[in-house]
Every structure is written in structure tokens, then in C-alpha cells.
Structure 1
């Protein structure tokens, strides 16, 4: 154990999974109290929601970094490297820092079982403490109420939106999912909600916790005009926002939510018009409508539920009409496959399906059968992501577009493959 590298530590954490234990926060809280974890007194953002969490985290990071703050973030899952999950000023931490944190946690764990995600969450909080970060921006892993990140006492709770996903964990209805995600609402801590669906449910929980709730379209908004946009916050506004032309509706909501959270935390942290436009000009978040031109145009997007698919479609329709659109897709068994693929049925010329390197992945045959059910006539079945990428690269022309979507675990290999060709 003393000589283990990062890979060995992560494999070890997989073996600790307390499958037979009720997933509550008591175990992780027990270890949390043994560690010298000391979050900052303010600027602690906890972000839940079905979609848009990563984008909202990235916006908040960029804005705070512009104010010369040391900003620590914790996100999941990763695309290529586990190190992506823990970043300081958007630079992922090295293996040595992670391993040191893992060793510290193991030394105080005393056989208390932790999940892979709980172990990682404690490591993240320990790393951010030791780095003396001025601000913490933390993305909830799954749900909210019972998520390991919910041991954090934030100064700002954010819920991006509510949509159907992870029903086997969070419940089958939007009401169930809203309750779980609103579980991050803490007594007297303000809440920003970046949507209006299930607003009444979230408001009831906020009232019960005596927390002020601020809702998109009611308390704040980002109005998209022809050339420029305007953010109208709670007490402040920013005009002449030059948002990227390829943004979908979700990106505007996420930016508006992030700005409002910053405003409520400390209005002096808000960017000027010029600063915000510079942030947006340079904004980059891997795997979120990420465009890479190699032989043809590749669009990498981690959308994996119908709500995210709608936004991806919205963005694809903004692209210039040229060439054919190929969709390379793979999805996990627990996803709403039919609801996802039906959204793209009208714009995809050719579908290429493959199985990811995980037991949770739907088989290529199962996915292709669902595509045929929805009327797709041109479907190619391949048994690995690499074969799918090579196939499209060989048959497509430079005017064509390849969309890689359906899972983080497909987009990650696509990024690695594109670096190698």
C-alpha cells in the first residue's frame, strides 16, 4: 500500500464498496470528523441538478479566478483521468497529491466502509483544505440528499434543473427527483434554482428550511437578443453579453444561474461586461459540445438523458447545414434509450453504435434494435468505441459531422482517440 500508484488506490477503493449497507451520510461523516478538513468561511458553492452542473461549476470558477481568488473544485465523473475531478484554479491536481490524501483517509478509516465516491469526496475536501483555497465549488455526484458531497455546509446551494435520470436511485417521478436534489438545501442557506419546473416542490422544502429561494425567470434571467444578451440579476445587471452563437437554451440558463449565485454571495465578485465577455470568449469545458476538426468535424457531448439530448439537438440545429451527420452512440443500460434517440431521429444520416468497456453498457445489438424500432434505416453495429471512431473517420468526408454522445465513458475514449490520429 505504501508504494501504490494512483491506479492501485482506485482499484482498492472499488473493493471497499459497502453494497450491503444503507447509503446514508453517517459513515462518511464519521471519517470527515477525523480529518483536518477546514472549508473556507464563505464562497462555498454546492451544485446539484440533473444537467448543467459541470457547466455551472466552470462558469463560477472562471468568474472567481478573474478576482484573483484561489478556487478549488470537485466534479464528477471524469472523461480521461481521475485527476480531472479535483482542480485548483482549473488545473487538475497531480497523482502525488491524490495519493497523499488517500493515505491519510486510509490511516483514520478504521475499517469503516466507504464507497469509491465517498473516498474521493473526502480526498477532494482534504486536498482543497491543504491548498488553502479561497473558494470551493462542489458538484453533487448523484441526487443530493444522500450524496457524499452533502456533508459540506455551503454558503450557497444551487440546483440547476430537474429532469428524469437515475430513476433507479432517485425515484420514478419528477417529484421524487426534486425531493432528492432539494436535499442539499440547508437551514438558512440561500438557494438558487436555475429552472422553473418543480418550482413549487423546491419552494416548499426551502420554506421548511427557512432558506431564501431565488428562481430563474421569476427572480433573475438572461435575455437572449439578436446580437447581445442581458443578464438581469437580483439587484444588478450586465448588458451586451456576447454569448457564443452555438449556445443552446441550457447554456444561457447555466450562466444566469452562476452569475446570480456569485451576486448573492458577494456582488463585488461579479464580472464587468468586458470581463464576462472575455470569460465567454475563452470558455472551454471538455465534452460539452466540444468541437474538434480532424478530417471532418467532431462534436463530443456527454448528453445521456432526454433533457440533455434536447439541448444538444438545439445546438446541432444552429450549425451550418452541410454534409451528413453521423451519430456514434453508446449508452448505459439504465438510461431512457428510446427517449434519447427519438429526439435525433430527424437529423441523423447514419447511426454507428458500439459497446463501452463497462458491464453497465447496453450491448451494440440491443441499442441497434431500439434504433430500428424508431425507424432508423442506416445503422452500423461495431463492438468497440475505437472501431466506431475509425469507421466513421474512414467513410466520412470533410464536410460531414460526427457526433459522439450518450455517455462520459464514450466521450472520454473519443477525446483520447482524436489526440492519437
Structure 2
């Protein structure tokens, strides 16, 4: 016979309204798990640890609310002494064991906050503190058992919490392949798990068989989320055999994945954390203006767009907006024919003129000019071309008034130094 015992000493200080001092009490709680496996013993230890942690959190919240309520009561008394008879906007309500909660006028009580004011009588009925640990390895979604199990033969009573080798997990919310979970038709939860403020909810349960994920619609079960981020289930007998409730092993695997990882599977049964491949975005654009430009044009609207990979260029506005952080290279060109006339095109970045394409023809001829510019841009930066003065010309075939650019190197979000500042003249 294996006997496992654990003694927990809990020292609590309790004070209610109207008490003259603090009363210290020490409680000794002792329990034993006989003829159980080490996994079951560990599950019992984890259960008690979580219960004590929740009670400690509840006690701390109660003390804070009591202090706030006492302060409010003293303020109310002071107002009465000053002769203020008007009713305030704050209402004091008393919960079990004279726990005090403050709420605004017309405000509804939040279910999460009410949990922190449960008395011992209410906690004794809470299934989060009274459940049976169900640690059977064959219930795992990645397990195939030759001896098919049937939960219709189990005398279900009360609430249960799923474990796998001493580690807490939950029912799957997706269809489980047949012949898994130690049975023919695995039972999975046909609906999302509840939030803590939802309390006890009823969920449908489906069994997968013959390529139908809900071939067997079993009796609905009750589910509740508990303090400590775990769930308890009120299982019922399935409608037929062979059906059994599943324990989603992916709860343990996918819960360990980092932000830069995804939980992936080839067979939708065995899952693993895989680092996401990072590939730089491809951004290229090239546009032209098939016409003449004279004098001042604030922004050239290049209507003929030949390349726009990454969709960073807008033909209606003539503005390119950087889709990602990175190093970009731009080019822009013009062509003029008038003698003794200065023609200027400026490249604008976020409202600053940073580069110029300039021509000055000394005699009647046609002269073109091409300028390039490279810079680091943050996502959302705007780039455009301004025709400042002179006379530029082009047609649909020549493409002499052009604007284009490419992303040379993309920077990841966490690699962008917040101290980088791009300076413009």
C-alpha cells in the first residue's frame, strides 16, 4: 500500500467590520491518496496548491476592498458632520462574511469581481475546488489503444479535471481522428471553452466516425473555467459505445510555443512548435507621366504605372508609401527642350525635399536628367516628386518623366532602433 500525505499550514488573519482586533488562526489540513499512481498523487498536490493560491489571492482582494470600504465610510461620516445630506454616487454593498465592495450608481456587479467575495459556504459548492482528477494516458489525442474504451460504462459523478501524466490539459475543440483517445469515436467539444466570467456553461459533444466529425452527438456536458487557467467538466454517459472523452495533448505542446513559432502538424494529431520562416517583402515600382509639365506642380501624378510589386505606389496621388521598415532606393527623371530655361524636379520624403534632378539647356536641344537617392524609411513614410520650375515633356512612347524605386533591405520590427532619426536638409 502506497500512502502519500501532505501537511499544509495556512496562517490567515481575518477581520470583519466591527471587530476590535485581529484574530490569528492556524489551520492544519491533511489528506492522503492511497493505492494511487505517482501521477495521481502529483495531480492531487497541484490541485491543492492551486486552491491555496486562489484563496490567497481572494484574501488579498478582500483586505483591499475592506480598507477601501472603511475609508469610504469615514468619508461619508465626515460629510454628514458637515451637514451634507445629498446622496453620493457610490453605493456600498456587503457580500458574505461582511466583505465590502464599492460600485458606482447604476453599475452592474461584475461576475469576475464577485468571485473574489465568495464565502466559505459558496466555495464549498464551487466545482473548481471539488473535482476528480482524471489522469488516464489513453485519453490523449495522440494515443491509439488496441483495447477500445467506452465511457458509457463509467458511472460519472460530479466534476472532473483532465490530466496527462500529472500535467493539466483540456478537451480538444477540433475534430479528432477516429481510433484515437483509446476508442473508436473520440469525443471532442463542439464549441469554445468558456471564459471565467461566463461561469458554468453547457457545450455540445461530438464523436468522429465514418468521415463525419459529428456522427455521434453525445449528451451535452457542463464546463467551467477556474482560477489558475484550467477547466473542469461535468461528464455524462455517451449515447452509445464505443465513445470516450478526449484529452487534447496539444494543450501541453502548443502552450510552449514562443511568439516567433507556430504550432504545426502534418497529420493533425501530433503537433510541434516550429519557428516561423522570415522572408523579406518584395517591393518594386516604376511609373511615368506621358505629357508636358510647366511651372510649379506640387506632386506629379504618374498615371502610367508599369510595375507596382507590393502595392506601395498610388497612381491617383502619385505618392509612394513604404509598406515596411527598410532601406529603399529611388530614381526620377525629366527631359526639357527650351533654351535658357532651368528645369527642376525634387524628390520629397515626408514633406522634405531631399534630391533634385536639374537641367539647363544653353541652346535649342533636348536634354534629359536622371537622379537617384537611397535612404532608410520607416513603415508609412511618403515619397513623391515635385516639378518646381521649367518645362518637361514626354509622350507615351518616350517615358522620359519617370519615377521608380525598390526595397533593398527589409528590417524586422524589433531590429528597428528607436534612436534612428533620418535627417533631411
TM-score by length of 2: 0.21
TM-score by length of 1: 0.21
Higher helix share: 1
Higher strand share: 2
Task: With a CA cutoff of 8 Å and minimum separation of 6, indicate the structure with the bigger relative contact order.
Answer: 1
Q: Which has the larger radius of gyration?
A: 2
